[in-house]
Structure 1
Amino acid sequence: MDEKPDIYRRELVDVQGVPLFWSIAEEWSQVESFEARPDDLLISTYPKSGTTWVSEILDLIYNNGDAEKCKRDAIYKRVPFMELIIPGFENGIELLKKMQPPRLVKTHLPVQLLPSSFWKNNCKMVYVARNAKDVAVSYYYFYQMAKIHPEAGTWEEFLDKFMTGKVAFGSWYDHVKGWWEKRNDYRIFYLFYEDMKEDPKHEIQKLLQFLEKDLSEETVDKILYHSSFNVMKQNPSTNYTTVPDFDMNHSVSPFMRKGISGDWKNQFTVAQYERFEKDYEKKMKGSTLRFRSEI
């Protein structure tokens, strides 16, 4: 199918100081008035931080490790992306309205833009954070393959946009810090991508504790297997290959690219690394939040 220039590669639109896709901005009142339910589980991340991975783990937990049940539909329909509105497609809010409880809800919104119903209902939330350099690299390739984004430009140009928060969903720095600061006031489980890579079983057990769910060792091992990168990369219900080419061009870059920690070293020049680190130190000054750039 031909690209639709009226939908794709359009500039981002500012919503309360955060750059978002134009289609979300146009329907912002729908997002703002979203009705969360008390038994909703929110999965919140900055883009390219392990969202699909953790969504699949949580769907497997909710289905007691039954991988066949988790193949009932694509991940973006099982765990709808709440604020994503693209003309011609069923949006996240519509999908969520039809879902039976308990619902798994995905968002990339920074903490200050989250619909107030989530706070009012004291919903449980899982926030996944990944180190900035790996996110920047992964986001650069995602910008190129997912055409709802504006043009990525060169890596150097994209890195500048990332560092200044001029990318979809705004500043990584504000996003991770905003959710970190809220974690003690609400039921937020703050999870690090690098910890998940290093010891997924341990992190899944911590998740189970947070969710007050008790699963056997055998079920946890099943969840580990079915949520591993290689299995998910081959699974059409998790690898986004069911999304039409005119939306996501997998020949440019697969949705599930590498799934490793420390890949930034293959992309950053020494000069870019030094500039990034200096800027990072300024932006993260005063925060107790600590990341590992490799494991």
Structure 2
Amino acid sequence: MVLRSETGEVEGVTLTKSICSIWDQVWNFQARPDDLLIATYAKAGTTWTQETVDMIQQNGDVEKCRRATIAKRHPFLDLPPAKAPVPHKSLSQTMPSPRTIKTHLPVQLVPPSFWKQNCKVIYVARNAKDNLVSYYHFHRMNKALPDPGTWEEFIEKFMTGKVLWGSWYDHVKGWWKAKDKHRILYLFYEDMKENPEQEIQKILKFLEKDVNQEVLNKIVHNTSFEIMKENPMANYTREFQAIMDHSISPFMRKGAVGDWKNHFTVAQNKKFDEDYKKKMADTSLVFRTEL
């Protein structure tokens, strides 16, 4: 039986106790100049972006992209070594450059070596309501996360930022601000859904890569939700079987924009919108909650 994580805090941000216990290792992680960091709030399109980047790096070669699961291809910076498929030590020492690394950390908790080395970062943000819905279902199926409680309770936790990796509001705003100082490509989940080709072009340009139309079409096709949902190297059915129960909710559930309408009551929506307005009053960031 897997015990659900207890939580702790690092600089006021909620993290699992296991991450807190190795925080020094995370903070002192040594980035290399050619590292690429994919950063997101949890359940904002992380795996999708990882697969897209890998397809670009492999020039659209589907077989190469299936060389290993996504968790092994792009190690998770935040995970303690025992849980990580590639522990921190081997991640920093044995993984050949260029590395692509994933994180859910808010910008202020990113190891300083990434900024010192002037690394490129791709950040993806998803509208709060859909992000919340996806995160709730992820907590239900992932036994390594804290118990989400009821839907009503989870909305409260999300609004107060008492969820893993902290406040969604602080996360998206912090990274939005940081993009003016660092090499950060800030993307939106909704744009990726609406016009995947256009957003992939942005990633190509950012990574200084060039592909022909045929390869681009291949990347668009193979990173579509329908294809990825069936891809065992991307859908998390190959690993963490003891932790993730896909029968409760698949890791790749809907990948839709606007699914929040199937979850929020009128009253919950009203309360959420009022709170959202206050929390987002100090930023130029604008999200779409439907397409």
1:111 pairs with 107, 111, 118, which one? 107
CA RMSD between the two structures: 1.1
In structure 1, the partner of 2:75 is 80
2:200 pairs with 186, 192, 204, which one? 204
Measured at CA, do residues 232 and 9 of structure 1 come closer, stay the same or move farther in structure 2, by a change above 3 Å?
Answer: same
Shift of 1:85: 1.6
Contact 2:229 2:235 in 1 (8 A): yes
1:60-118 C-alpha deviation (Å, 9 max, x unpaired): 10110101001000001101111112636545524523221111110000000000000
Contact 2:81 2:88 in 1 (8 A): no
1:102 partner SS: coil
Contact 1:84 1:91 in 2 (8 A): no
1:58 pairs with 32, 53, 58, which one? 53
1:1-295 alignment runs, 5 A limit: 3-4=1-2, 8-85=3-80, 87=82, 89-97=84-92, 98-295=94-291
Question: d(CA) in 2 for partners of 1:214 and 1:89?
Answer: 33
1:236-269 C-alpha deviation (Å, 9 max, x unpaired): 0000001243211111110000001000000000
What is the one-letter code of the residue matched to 2:41?
A: Y
Measured at CA, do residues 22 and 185 of structure 1 come closer, stay the same or move farther in structure 2, by a change above 3 Å?
Answer: same
1:196 partner SS: helix
Measured at CA, do residues 186 and 88 of structure 1 come closer, stay the same or move farther in structure 2, by a change above 3 Å?
Answer: closer
Contact 1:77 1:95 in 2 (8 A): no
1:155-205 C-alpha deviation (Å, 9 max, x unpaired): 000000000001000000000000000101110000000000000001101
What is the one-letter code of the residue matched to 1:183?
A: K
TM-score using structure 1 length: 0.96
**Number of equivalent positions:** 290
| Unaligned ranges ≥5, structure 1 | none
2:60 partner SS: coil
Contact 2:71 2:85 in 1 (8 A): no
What is the one-letter code of the residue matched to 1:123?
A: C
Shift of 1:13: 0.6
Question: d(CA) in 2 for partners of 1:106 and 1:92?
Answer: 13
Contact 1:147 1:248 in 2 (8 A): yes
Shift of 1:10: 2.8
Question: d(CA) in 2 for partners of 1:184 and 1:69?
Answer: 35
Measured at CA, do residues 269 and 115 of structure 1 come closer, stay the same or move farther in structure 2, by a change above 3 Å?
Answer: same
Shift of 1:12: 1.1
What is the one-letter code of the residue matched to 2:43?
A: K
What is the one-letter code of the residue matched to 1:248?
A: M
1:239 partner SS: coil
Contact 1:96 1:103 in 2 (8 A): no
Contact 1:262 1:294 in 2 (8 A): yes
Question: d(CA) in 2 for partners of 1:105 and 1:88?
Answer: 16
Question: d(CA) in 2 for partners of 1:169 and 1:267?
Answer: 23
| Unaligned ranges ≥5, structure 2 | none
Question: d(CA) in 2 for partners of 1:92 and 1:239?
Answer: 21
Counting aligned pairs with the same residue, the percent is: 58
